[in-house]
């Protein structure tokens, strides 16, 4: 017979992770879903707790929260989703249907007209499968090296529902710029969706892609830099398409019903956005930069590795970090060593010869622990 769980009061004294026998980790990697996203501020937790205490109209809460977020971010509209991947699905459905209930029903019934979404070959990412979840076919344009205007125009036809653009400095090379993409899309009245899930900082991206560059929708993760609930996401953009998202989404019993943001998640993310807009981002960067410089001094010359500072992270964000190049052993062996230590330090790696450490998800005092554990795991001279 399995052992009975501890009494509720005892379990809460222990902590949920201790009760389950789960080790907590130091995150020197990034705000990854697999690591639990980011850590929420006390104000966000309080907002979620307050929201949990009352019954409300979820329609009204989504509407009012969206209006507030839109006003704060210089957008016409905003909608809270259950993660950025859900935002992709809902955005594609919005572009396919434009909020037309007849068209929505045709997709539900399986007799809607064919839908294509164009994406640059150089922008292919692991999350673009969500385009197909919305019932659209993914059509690529260009190659891994370059794309020309005429190639994009040649792909646009009567079945084109949207152009899906992945933001990030690391993906800019092979694709047309967002500015040129929007110009061509507007020529054919095709909406442009920007996947900006991990494109914070800078804070200005909350309105740059849409209000300044003219994209119709932009999608952000709520559980990364915004430090909202991990399972939350945000779509901002033009009112027409935000309203089309709304009629496809929960609490309506339609195709987006499964992406149901709770009253707690809506309250939490709205509060997190308010906090993010009010914070001193320059001070954050200075603190991270100081940590990275200290890490460089602590590691350089102490191991058989090449060490340097990198001011752009794996998502193309302007976030400083340390790059560590291994000659031997490979990165997976180092990861295995780090996973055997207590506490475990999580890092970014390429499975071959590169490891990166970032300071933006650390808690106070963890900076030195990262170096201590790395020096135990990295090869010495």
* Residues contacting residue 189 through CB under 8 Å, at least 6 positions apart: none
User: pLDDT digits over 87-124, tens only?
Assistant: 999 999 999 999 999 999 999 999 999 999 999 999 99
Q: pLDDT at position 168, please?
A: 87
Q: What tokens appear for 37 in the block?
A: 């996203």
Quick check: 11 pLDDT over 90? no
Regarding whether 237 and 217 lie in a shared domain, the answer is yes
Pair of tokens at residue 44: 């966000």
Q: What is the pLDDT of residue 318?
A: 87
Given a contact cutoff of 8 angstroms between Cβ atoms, the answer to whether 80 and 269 are in contact is yes
Q: Does residue 1 lie within any of the structural domains?
A: no
**Same domain, yes or no: 269 and 287:** no
CATH of the domain at 270: 3.40.640.10
DSSP characters over 113-135: PP-EEEEEGGG--TTTTHHHHTT
Structural domain includes residue 201: yes
Q: 238, 262, 278: which is the final residue of a domain?
A: 278
Q: Which of 220, 250, 278 is the last residue of a domain?
A: 278
Residue written as token pair 């102490």 = 302
Q: What sections of the chain are H helices per DSSP? A: 8-14, 16-20, 42-51, 58-72, 84-97, 101-109, 130-133, 149-155, 178-187, 205-207, 239-248, 263-278, 281-299, 331-340, 366-377
Confidence band (pLDDT; 50, 70, 90) for 327?
confident
Residue 324: what pLDDT? 96
| CA angle (218 as vertex; 79, 241 as ends), nearest 5 | 55
Determine, yes or no, domain membership for 35. Answer: no
* Within a domain: 336: yes
Please give the pLDDT value at position 169. 79
The pLDDT of 41-58, averaged and rounded, is 98
Q: Which of 278, 302, 321 is the last residue of a domain?
A: 278
Clarify whether residues 203 and 227 are in a common domain.
Answer: yes
**Cβ neighbourhood burial of 247 (10 Å; 0-12, 13-18, 19+):** middle
Based on the domain organization, do 232 and 178 belong to the same domain? yes
Residue 13 falls within a domain, yes or no? yes
In this structure, are 122 and 208 located in the same domain?
Answer: yes
Burial of 189 (0-12, 13-18, 19+ CB in 10 A): exposed
**Domain-located, residue 171:** yes
Measure the CA–CA gap between 269 and 274, rounded to whole angstroms: 9
pTM of the predicted model as reported, rounded to 2 decimal places: 0.93
Q: If you write DSSP's letter for every residue of 81-97 in order, what string do you get? A: ESSHHHHHHHHHHHHHH
Residue-level pLDDT at 251: 96
**Mean pLDDT, the chain, integer:** 94
Q: How many independent structural domains does the chain possess?
A: 2
Same domain, 288 and 268: no
* Cα distances (angstroms) measured from residue 37 to each of 12, 165, 272, 280: 22, 23, 14, 21
> Domain limits at 335?
8-30+280-377
Same domain, 284 and 139: no
**252 and 286 co-located in one domain:** no
Answer yes or no: is 127 within a domain: yes
pLDDT band at 198 (very low <50, low <70, confident <90, very high): very high
Q: Are residues 64 and 120 in the same domain?
A: yes
Q: What is the CATH number of the domain that holds 305?
A: 3.90.1150.180
Is 93 in the same domain as 56? Answer: yes
Residue 106: count other Cβ atoms within 10 Å of its Cβ.
15
Contact 70, 236 (CB under 8 A): yes
Whether 351 maps to a domain, the answer reads yes
Does residue 289 sit in the same domain as residue 259?
no
pLDDT for 12 beyond 80:
no
Give the model confidence (pLDDT) of 329-381 as tens digits.
Answer: 789 999 999 999 999 999 999 989 999 999 999 999 999 999 999 999 999 87
> Using CA atoms, how far apart are residues 174 and 100, in angstroms rounded to an integer?
35
Say if residue 178 is in the same domain as residue 94. Answer: yes
φ and ψ at residue 80, rounded to 5 degrees: -95, 130
């Amino acid at each position: 017979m399995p052992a009975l769980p501890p009494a509720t009061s005892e379990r809460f004294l222990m902590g949920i992770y201790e009760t389950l026998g789960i080790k907590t980790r130091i995150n020197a990697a990034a705000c990854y879903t697999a690591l639990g996203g980011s850590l929420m501020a006390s104000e966000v937790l309080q907002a979620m707790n307050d929201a949990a205490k009352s019954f409300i109209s979820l329609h009204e809460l989504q509407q009012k929260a969206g209006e507030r977020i839109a006003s704060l971010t210089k957008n016409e509209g905003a909608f809270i989703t259950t993660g950025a991947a859900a935002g992709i699905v809902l955005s594609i459905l919005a572009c396919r249907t434009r909020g037309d209930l007849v068209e929505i029903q045709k997709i539900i019934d399986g007799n809607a007209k064919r839908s294509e979404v164009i994406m640059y070959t150089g922008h292919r990412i692991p999350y673009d499968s969500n385009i197909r979840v919305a019932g659209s076919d993914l059509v690529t344009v260009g190659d891994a090296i370059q794309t020309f205007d005429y190639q994009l125009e040649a792909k646009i036809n009567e079945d084109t529902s949207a152009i899906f653009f992945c933001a990030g400095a690391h993906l800019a090379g092979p694709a047309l710029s967002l500015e040129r993409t929007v110009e061509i899309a507007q020529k054919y009245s095709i909406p442009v969706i920007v996947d900006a899930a991990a494109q914070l900082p800078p804070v200005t991206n909350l309105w740059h892609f849409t209000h300044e560059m003219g994209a119709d929708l932009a999608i952000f993760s709520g559980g990364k830099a915004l430090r909202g609930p991990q399972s939350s996401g945000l779509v901002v953009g033009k009112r027409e398409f935000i309203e089309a998202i709304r009629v496809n989404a929960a609490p309506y019993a339609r195709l987006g019903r499964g992406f149901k943001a709770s009253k707690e998640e809506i309250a939490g993310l709205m509060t997190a956005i308010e906090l993010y807009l009010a914070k001193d981002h320059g001070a954050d960067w200075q603190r991270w930069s100081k940590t990275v410089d200290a890490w460089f001094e602590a590691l350089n010359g102490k191991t058989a590795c090449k060490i340097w500072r990198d001011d752009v992270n794996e998502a193309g964000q302007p976030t400083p970090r340390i790059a560590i190049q291994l000659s031997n052993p490979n990165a997976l062996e180092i990861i295995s060593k780090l996973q055997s230590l207590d506490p475990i330090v999580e890092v970014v790696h390429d499975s071959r010869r590169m490891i990166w450490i970032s300071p933006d998800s650390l808690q106070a005092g963890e900076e030195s622990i990262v170096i201590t554990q790395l020096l135990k795991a990295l090869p010495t001279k």
